[in-house]
Amino acid sequence: MPPGATAPPTGENPVVAELRGGDFRARRDLGQHFLRSPGIATRLLELAGLHAGDAVLEVGAGLGTLSAAVARAGHRIWAVEKDPRVAEALCAALEPYGERARPLLSDVRAVDLDRELPVGTVFLSILPFDWPLAFGIAAHVFGSTAKVARGLAVLPAATVDHTAAGDWFGAGLRLEEVDGISRDDFWPQAAVPLRVVSITRC
């Protein structure tokens, strides 16, 4: 564990448990599914192969389970989320990390990523479980700034299969599947198969 890092909590994120038990409805149009376990966030972080102090951009930060894992491990995180209903939970999840964690409550397309981010930022995101939306966000991020060097994303499998390789290539990106992830790792449970992919520029 790097200096300043703390051990991850275990079990289900209590905020997810609270939402599951209440009347909160996840937005389908935003491909909204929330990561249930901080343990899975830690696994994604390991797959991302970050180095000490790396800057990380997460688009679709939701309840902040992955963002908090990034900050907890000692990295800087820019956590972008469009849905104002989860803003309070996201800010609370990141509050312990002070300057290291920056929640940005906005559609990512309205954020000046080139101004916000340092050179060499790593994109680490659980993208909406809606393949055109997921592809659009990834293409936008890498197309709008050269400061994002590479990425790791959880995507609907269809984003890889139906978005022809030519589309990713047209966006100057190469995908490589690095792991799987269960639909049950999310609430609501994912309705589609998911993949964990690395994203590099070509």
Ligand X SMILES: C[S@@+](CC[C@H](N)C(=O)[O-])C[C@H]1O[C@@H](n2cnc3c(N)ncnc32)[C@H](O)[C@@H]1O
According to CB under 6 A, which residues from 126 to 185 bind ligand X?
126, 128-129, 137
Binding of residue 30 to ligand X (CB under 6 A)? yes
Residue 200 one-letter amino acid: T
Exactly one of 19, 32, 77, 122 binds ligand X (CB under 6 A); that residue is: 32
Distance (Å) of CA 4 to CA 52, 71, 99, 173: 11, 10, 13, 34
The residue (of 107 and 179) whose beta carbon lies closer to ligand X is 107
Segment lying near ligand X (by CB under 6 A), choices 4-12, 28-36, 157-165, 167-175: 28-36
Binding of residue 15 to ligand X (CB under 6 A)? no
Torsion angle defined by CA atoms of residues 4, 5, 9 and 14, in that order, rounded to the nearest 10 degrees: 70
According to CB under 6 A, which residues from 98 to 137 bind ligand X?
107-109, 126, 128-129, 137
Residue 130 C-beta: closest distance to ligand X, Å: 8
**Do 27 and 83 form a contact (C-beta atoms < 8 A)?**
yes
Exactly one of 62, 74, 103, 156 binds ligand X (CB under 6 A); that residue is: 62
Closest CA to 65 of 94, 88, 85: 94
Residue 177 C-beta: closest distance to ligand X, Å: 18
> Which residue ranges make up the annotated binding site for S-adenosyl-L-methionine?
33, 35, 60, 81, 107
Binding of residue 94 to ligand X (CB under 6 A)? no
* Beta strand 34-35 pairing with 148-156: unpaired
Exactly one of 80, 113, 152, 199 binds ligand X (CB under 6 A); that residue is: 80
The residue (of 100 and 109) whose beta carbon lies closer to ligand X is 109
Segment lying near ligand X (by CB under 6 A), choices 43-51, 54-62, 162-170, 173-181: 54-62
**Do 134 and 156 form a contact (C-beta atoms < 8 A)?**
yes
Beta strands in the chain (DSSP E): 34-35, 55-59, 76-81, 101-105, 121-126, 148-156, 173-180, 186-187, 194-201
Binding of residue 35 to ligand X (CB under 6 A)? yes
Torsion angle defined by CA atoms of residues 97, 143, 176 and 77, in that order, rounded to the nearest 10 degrees: 0
Binding footprint of ligand X on the chain (CB under 6 A) = 30-35, 59-63, 65-66, 80-83, 107-109, 126, 128-129, 137
